[in-house]
Amino acid sequence: MTPSVSYVVIACLAVVLLSSSCSARRAAVAGALSEEEAHEPLDVLSDRDRALDELKREVQEQIATAQRRRLEEESRIRSAPPYFYKRFELYPSGADELQIRLKEIESALKPYEAAVSVPTARFTTEYHTSRSACARDSKFIRDIGTQIDTYVYENGEWNLLYSLFEVEKTSVLRGETWVDAASNLERIAQDRPESFFGKVGGFFRTIF
C-alpha cells in the first residue's frame, strides 16, 4: 500500500468515526429531551382554567355550607331598617345545575369577570317592625328562582360584586302543602301592639 493510499484510508476512517460519534451524541440529546418531556405534566392548565376551577370550588363550598347551616340561618334575625325578618336559602339541585359564564376583560389587574347562576329556593318571613314579633314568626314565604352572583377576579382571587335573585314562582305554606301565591304578595306584617309582659318576654327570647 502506497503512502498516498494509506492517507486516504485513514481519512475515510476518521470521517466514519466522527460521523458515528455525532450520531451517538444526537441520539443521547434526543433521548434526554424525550425523558424530560415524559416528566412534564400532560395537562398544564391555563390561567383562565385555573381561575374558573377556583371559582367553581368556592361556589360549591358556599352551597354545601348553606345546606349545613340551614337551622342556624332559619332562626337568624336580619334587619332592613325599619324592618326585621328571617331568611335562608336552599339549593334543590345542589351544584349539579351550577352555570358559570366567564368573560375576559382587557385589564391586567382584573382579567376576568364571571356570572354564576344556580337554581335557588329562598325562604323569607314577613317584614316586622318589632324584633320580638319577628323572633316569634315561623311562617315563611317560598320564592323559587335563580340566584345570579357576579364576581370579578382581582389580585389572584374572586370577589363578589353584586347578587341578583330572579323569582319564577312564589308559594305559601297551607298546612303541609305549598300553594302558589301572587308574585306581588303583601310581605309587610301587620304587627299588633304588644302588652308590657309580651315585650319583656320577647326581649328575653331575643337575648337568650
162 or 36: whose pLDDT is higher? 162
Work out the percent of the chain whose per-residue pLDDT is above 70: 70
156-202 pLDDT, tens digit each: 899 999 999 999 999 999 999 999 998 789 999 987 665 555 555 55
pLDDT in the model for residue 108: 82
What element of type H or E holds 151? Answer: strand 141-154
95-134 pLDDT, tens digit each: 899 999 999 988 888 999 999 999 999 999 999 999 999 9
pLDDT in the model for residue 51: 94
Q: Taking 80 as the threshold, does the pLDDT of residue 65 lie above it?
A: yes
Confidence of residue 12 (pLDDT cuts 50, 70, 90): very low
Amino acid found at 126: E
Instruction: Please tell me whether the overall predicted TM-score, pTM, comes out greater than 0.75 for this model.
Output: no
Backbone angles phi, psi at 138, to 5 degrees: -120, 10
Confidence of residue 31 (pLDDT cuts 50, 70, 90): low
* 188 Cβ neighbours under 8 A, 6+ residues apart: 83, 126, 127
Q: Taking 80 as the threshold, does the pLDDT of residue 49 lie above it?
A: yes
Q: Taking 80 as the threshold, does the pLDDT of residue 73 lie above it?
A: yes
What element of type H or E holds 88? Answer: strand 83-90
Confidence of residue 54 (pLDDT cuts 50, 70, 90): very high
Q: Taking 60 as the threshold, does the pLDDT of residue 13 lie above it?
A: no
Please return the burial class of 143, using the count of CB atoms within 10 Å of its CB with bins 0-12, 13-18 and 19+: buried
